[in-house]
Amino acid sequence: MSYIIEIENLSKDYEVGFWKKKKVRALDDLTLNVEAGQIFGFLGGNGAGKTTTIKILMSLMFPTTGTARILGSDISDFKMHSRIGYCPENPYFYDYLKARELMNYFGELFGFDAAKRNRKTEELLTKVGLDEKDWNKQLRKFSKGMLQRVGLAQSLINEPEIVFLDEPMSGLDPIGRREIRELIAELREQGTTVFMSTHILSDIEALCDNVAILRGGKLAATGNLHELLTDSGEKQSFEITIKGGAAENLKDSIAGIAGAIFAAKPNGANINVLDENDIEKVLHATREAGGSLVSVQPVRQSLEEFFVKQTE
């Protein structure tokens, strides 16, 4: 399997200070490969080097050392950009243009004819959930969330094979986030590779197949999200949710099970056990106490726990 994005030993120094003498390393020897057809999560705290990496990939900046290839072409070959899309962080566009005009302008830059530009504009603005009444409004009147939607729409205008999304959820309300999440999932189904940077972990958990975690410009971890979380040496546990019954009785009978944790809830309780065999014991005790079972769930280590551990 060949890689669709290949990053080799990429480093970037920023020159700071008045005389540009001092150097700050923003990205340090990053090597990363991404396979086609997946949603790749690019994680890291503020200043970890996510945006720097994406800007280098987009040829907006030049690496101090190292190389990278997208779709087999070196990143300096801007003709390759006809096959990719990019939505910058907190996107900002020509505010004197209307949403429709902006889409039309970008379509023209790709050489689309008027009919195709119109079709793609309407299709994409609908898809990102921009209200039709806003299509002919100047972008200077747009909210942050609306700009984010326009940014996503323009990144998809050329039906890209890979789309790079830098913090695509920022500025969106909860409903907007869910809509964009669905849109990104849909892209994968259509075969588009999505490379998204974010620090919102729930989005990663819900969407990503593979992730890379950056810390201080260095790669801290990379791999399949599921494997990263389960293979990290942490024991799996199970959460049992109980409704009704005499909580005090139940608590006493569970106290005998090794490693079990009891948490009372209004009209019920949550019980955590470490061993699968202990589930039966809990269920038995529940019936004795007059309660009923609501659910049994395996609990893996949360991404948040993992992330905090990686970036500490």
Partner 1 sequence: MANPNAVSGASTFKIISTIARNTFREAVRDRVLYNLVIFVLLITASAIFLGELTAGHEARTIVNLGLGAMLVFGAFISIFVGVSLVSKEIERRTIYAIFSKPIGRGEFIVGKYLGLCLTLLVNVLVMGIGVSLAILAVGGGSLALTIWGAIALLYLELAILTAVAILFSSFSSPALSALLTFFVFIIGNFTQSLKDFALTIGSSSGKLFFDVLYIILPNLSFYSFRTNAAHGELPSAALLGGAFLYAMVYIGILLTVTILIFKRRNFK
Q: Using an 8 Å Cβ cutoff, are 80 and 250 in contact? A: no
Nearer to partner 1 by Cβ, of 38 and 158: the residue is: 158
Give the contact letters, 56-75, x = binds to partner 1 (CB under 8 A), - = no: --xxxxx--------xx---
Nearer to partner 1 by Cβ, of 55 and 199: the residue is: 55
Closest listed residue to residue 286, CA positions, set 253, 239, 259 = 253
> Closest approach of Cβ 187 to partner 1, in Å?
14
Give the contact letters, 155-174, x = binds to partner 1 (CB under 8 A), - = no: x--xx-x--x----------
CA distances, 227 to each of 15, 35, 42, 211, 221 (Å): 38, 16, 16, 11, 12
CA distance 165 to 155: 8
Helices (H) and strands (E) in the chain, counts: 10, 14
Q: Exposed, middle or buried: residue 151 (CB in 10 Å: 0-12, 13-18, 19+)?
A: buried
Segment 109-138, which members bind partner 1 (CB under 8 A)? Answer: 109-111
Nearer to partner 1 by Cβ, of 39 and 84: the residue is: 84
Joined tokens for residue 308: 């905090």
> Closest approach of Cβ 298 to partner 1, in Å?
39
Nearer to partner 1 by Cβ, of 28 and 278: the residue is: 28
> Closest approach of Cβ 163 to partner 1, in Å?
10
Nearer to partner 1 by Cβ, of 41 and 85: the residue is: 85
Q: Is 80 in the site for partner 1 (CB under 8 A)?
A: yes
Dihedral sign computed on CA atoms, order 56, 143, 189, 48 = positive
CB atoms within 10 A of CB 207: 21
Q: For binding to partner 1 (CB under 8 A), which residues are involved? A: 2, 4, 14, 55, 58-62, 71-72, 78-86, 88, 91-94, 96-97, 105-106, 108-111, 151, 154-155, 158-159, 161, 164
